[in-house]
Amino acid sequence: MNRYLDVKEDVARAVAEGRPVVALESTIISHGMPYPQNVETALNVERIVREAGAVPATIAIIGGRLKAGLSPEEIEYFGKKGMSITKASRRDLSILCAKGEDGATTVTTTMMIAHMAGIKVFATGGIGGVHRGAETTMDISADLEELARTPVVVVCAGAKAILDLGLTLEYLETHGVPVIGYGTEELPAFYSRSSGLKVDYRMDSPEEIAAAFRVQTSLGLEGGMLVTNPIPEEYSMDPAVINKAIDEAIDEMNRKDIHGKECTPFLLAKVKELTGGDSLDSNIQLVYNNAGLAARIAAAYCE
């Protein structure tokens, strides 16, 4: 066991006994929405995972310790500190541990810590990817590299719609990451159910996904598996409305010369403003939907 890693007792027991566990990220708490809605959402996600028969493990860095599983009090702490907590990607882990500081885990670092703790399945909202204009900026999320190297099933609603979805799929293909559409042959576009782009495979049950991942790990293949789960129909946004808001947000971001890891929080906040809060409501519902599916996949994997 990594000496910087603390695994919550119920999580450690479930892993040791071969019972289903679902990892959850903490950036959505600190950077995804305001307090107290962030805490309420995080606790609801944990409840959904439990009701689906798995143990939730919200992952974070607190005082330089890698945490696989948070208490309600720790989630409240993260929610209140909000944006003042460092958004921690792979490059930040060693520094934050050495300095004894807090960090909110992205998709990348949640995958890393989940793997350290023996957790096979992770639920998030949307992954990072290739940013629009990356042919000149080279702005590509570390999430894609992590999917190529760390053996965890990541359940999401697609890549965030603010990204270049076509290039994101190309990057994943180049790095050998299978992209699965749950009940669909098209890549979900986060806020809406389809981007018009094809995924690698359609699978219609958690058991089918779990079996594929079991074979992938048995073959000794590196990397994870990306499961894209469309937002429920009743919460899906009109693509014309959301794309107009995204285009306006990107224009403003470029005018303000915002770069790097500040891009995504800025764009999500701006899109929320431009859609009158509808994008945040959709974001919350798709996370709930992904948590339930991830728990069912974890249960199928353990069987």
Positions annotated as catalytic residues are: 25, 160
Q: How far is CA 36 from CA 18, 39, 83, 211, 291, in A?
A: 34, 5, 13, 39, 20
Query: Buried b vs exposed e over 47-66: b needs ≥16 C-beta within 10 Å?
Result: ebbeebebbbbbbbbbebeb
Q: How far is CA 50 from CA 183, 227, 254, 286, 293, in A?
A: 23, 20, 42, 17, 12
Q: Identify the CA nearest to 123 among candidates 56, 65, 211.
A: 56
End-to-end Cα, the chain, rounded Å: 25
Pairing mode, if any, of strands 225-228 and 65-68?
unpaired
Kindly give, in sequence order, each residue whose CB lies less than 8 Å from that of residue 175, ignoring residues fewer than 6 positions away.
Answer: 144, 145, 147, 148, 223
